[in-house]
Each structure stands twice: as C-alpha cells, then as structure tokens.
Amino acid sequence: MLIPAAALLYLCGGWVLGVVGAEYAAGGAGVLKVMVVASLFVGVNKVYFAIKRVQKDVKGIMVLSGAICSLIISNRPFYLCNDTFKCQCN
C-alpha cells in the first residue's frame, strides 16, 4: 500500500502541491520527493521492528536502533553545513 501511494506522490506531487499555490509547489516539490523516498526506508524499518517485537528479539531491535542513531549522528556535519547554512564544521 505504501509503494503505490509513494509512486503517486512522487509523480504527481507537484500537482498536489499546486492546489496551495504555484510558488509553494515549486519550492516544495523537491522536498516532497525526498520525503517520499525516505518513507520507503521508514516503512521497511517499521516492518522489521514489528517482526522483531513479535519474535521478542530485543537484541536485534537494539542493534538496528543503535546503527540508525550512529548513522544520523555521524552524518550531522554533512547535512547541516552547506552554502545556505554557515557553521563551524571544519
């Protein structure tokens, strides 16, 4: 159910955002596409966590949660420091 909805939003997202306004659609279409792609990974993680909870595999849940946390924290300087947002990353 997530894949058809994600495909529809990815392809027609600009039109859907255009209901609010042309400028809003132009600025938000790229962000919407990134969120749609990210939703696929979130869906896979949620299914994995649900399966591991049913199996009562706490270790598997903790390992994946720790890996996700480590990846987010270690990539922080790369997605916060760019031409728009100046920071002291180097």
Domain ranges for the chain: 2-80
Q: Is the pLDDT of residue 76 over 70?
A: no
Q: Is the pLDDT of residue 56 over 90?
A: yes
Find how far residue 68's CA is from the centre of its chain. Answer: 12
What per-residue confidence (pLDDT) applies to 16? 87
Q: Is the pLDDT of residue 9 over 60?
A: yes
C-alpha–C-alpha distance, residues 73 and 69, integer Å: 6
**Tokens of residue 65, six digits:** 């949660």
Burial class (CB in 10 A: 0-12, 13-18, 19+), 13: buried
C-alpha–C-alpha distance, residues 36 and 46, integer Å: 15
What per-residue confidence (pLDDT) applies to 21? 87
